Structure 1
Amino acid sequence: MMNIPSPGHPPQPPAGGAVAGRSAIIRLAGVGKQFPARKDGQPVEALSDIDLDVPAGSVLGVIGRSGAGKSTLIRLVNGLEKPTSGQVIVDGVDVSRLPENKLRAVRRNIGMIFQHFNLLSSRTVFDNIALPLEVEGAAAPVIRERVERLMSLVGLDDKRSRYPAELSGGQKQRVGIARALATNPKVLLSDEATSALDPETTHSILSLLSAINRELGVTILLITHEMAVIRAIAQQMAVLDGGRVVEQGDVFDVFTRPQHPTTRSFLAAETGRAPPSFVADRLAHEDAPGMETVIRIIFRGRFATHPVLAQVSRELDIDVNILGGTIDAIGGKPFGVLIVGVPGGRDLSERFVSFLAARDLDTEVLGYVPASAFA
């Protein structure tokens, strides 16, 4: 059981992974953020005209490259920065208009998980987790009960008296997560929480965050530069580029039908969209006799698991050459990418593309390679 509300606070309703119809617990409306002018006299525009809703009980991931404005966005949500324009509303309160002395009550409902853990080296695991409760003046028995439950939640029962220097990176982050949950927040903000961890530890931390969201109903807003993190945990996503949201929506929809070039560049390696090197090195932009058309196929929807290539080979009498690809699931829905070579010239490749389009499969011609290249 993971339902561990602190005394005096009722348990959050379980999220169950569903967010449809839920009201936004975090809302950014027309948000812009400028920092003081540089030497040339021009202000630095970190964010511009951001509109973003995070449904209660959801996990929303914000992805962007360094300098895209991710960290500024998350600092606006917890009131560490004030927007130059627009509103930042958390749980019905416009934090952008609150004075510092009134932000403390709001921040009680907002937990923060940091990339580099931010633990106090002189305090034990128990004492690091207890710190937020001590700051708000909780009684010793309340602190003891809450911290012990949180240590159990994150799997650190046997580390209560250890110091940060004695812990692995994953264990430190588990302490950070437990500390972020100490005041029973409604919202968790994750600032590149897995960037400093190895892949196996990253997987375990993301699994823990997913369980916290699912079983405690805590809303999670995370920022990252890794599509694998978004795919593993988020239900909704937004793509930041140059301080603007260039694409947002359901994770499955964005992953399988990205609209913006920035999103496509993030996805190229993550979902197998790029052709393997032995194909890419031979790709030509112009068709010529004796060439195969290299086509990328996106398998999604009701035809995702159908034997479409067998059907097209049979009905159009085409010998399709499979050159690369991947099959996976996103949010429990099947999804696949195949890179294929289609011989026979432009007419046959256009018939091939039309056959797949009629079955709601997306295709893209990547170029042409000599048919003899793979003989």
Structure 2
Amino acid sequence: MITTDAPLRTPLHGEHVDRGAAMTTFAGWAMPLRYTSDLAEHAAVRERAGLFDLSHMAQVEVSGPGAAAALDRSLVSRSSTLATGRARYTMMTAEDGGVIDDLIVYRLAETEFLVIANAANRTVVLDELTVRSHLADATEQVHVADRTEHRALIALQGPVAAGVLSALTDADLGALRYYASVTAEVAGIPVLLARTGYTGEVGFELSVPAESAVPLWRAVLAAGASSGVVACGLACRDTLRLEAGMPLYGHELTRRTTPFEAGLGRVVDLDEAHDFIGRAALAARRDHPSGQALVGLAGEGRRAARAGSTLHDGDGQVGTITSGVLSPTLGHPIAMALVEQPRAGVGTVLDVDVRGRRQPMTVVELPFYRRPR
């Protein structure tokens, strides 16, 4: 984590303060927690659209003739197979297979990539990419550059997102596939426009130079005002991603878990031609599971289990809640948890310790919420 005497400020800090956002320190950054209420902002994203400042997320450029090979060595999937203009959700693991971070890699050109990492893991990802980029042939030319504080990242998420952005750009948003990106102008501002998000809704993420963040932010809010677009904070982003069954680093993903425990073994490319750090450990874990699995849980009433709450089957503890909330959309408690494999079947009822009181929750399929087609 980047540490300073005072929290870092995104290029949109003044906009948040002027709008009366409740601010919090997150991963070393001053970030908006909420502007009005968590429930109102959550509902806005599900029903209309919300605008998020994600400029605390690390933006790392990896470029040069050896960039693709360097990323192949560094990550569990092969960036060399990405087509230009496409993106991929992937992970960086340690030698023992533990997850260092989950990331999105964009291929911008034949020898240019953008890596988006979690804010709390900015330093470790940057350091690991730098070291791993030079493990093989010393003649390979690879340049790793941290652009986080020179860029901004803004996300517009929700059912009306495409319509709002269409009024500001000539880019064909209808043709932009999920996990694809295009260089475009939005409100006359050059952006990297990506069809990605962390809410379970139709959405876009826009990476821009820091100096363009404020005019872009204001333009999108103005264009979306008549459609009910509102600025949103980190609190509702967490409840949205949990409803969508999306993992959060430090909760579902940690250095103590591998992608297989988290139900994300599908992102790991164990082809013999793909030699990456952690491969041997992950191949062994695939062939010899740890006995734990990530599951979704649904309960009744209004009392939500929180991260760290224990799961019980009779008198024995069989798992731990990794994330939990009273679902704003569904109206009942939901949670994700790591449980012993024999208790991971859909329909299994387990007792959760919620502040000293046991209450039943049932294993259900993930995600909890799917946006209507």
Please classify the TM superposition score into its range, dividing by the shorter chain length: under 0.3
Q: TM-score, normalised by structure 1?
A: 0.28
Q: TM-score, normalised by structure 2?
A: 0.28
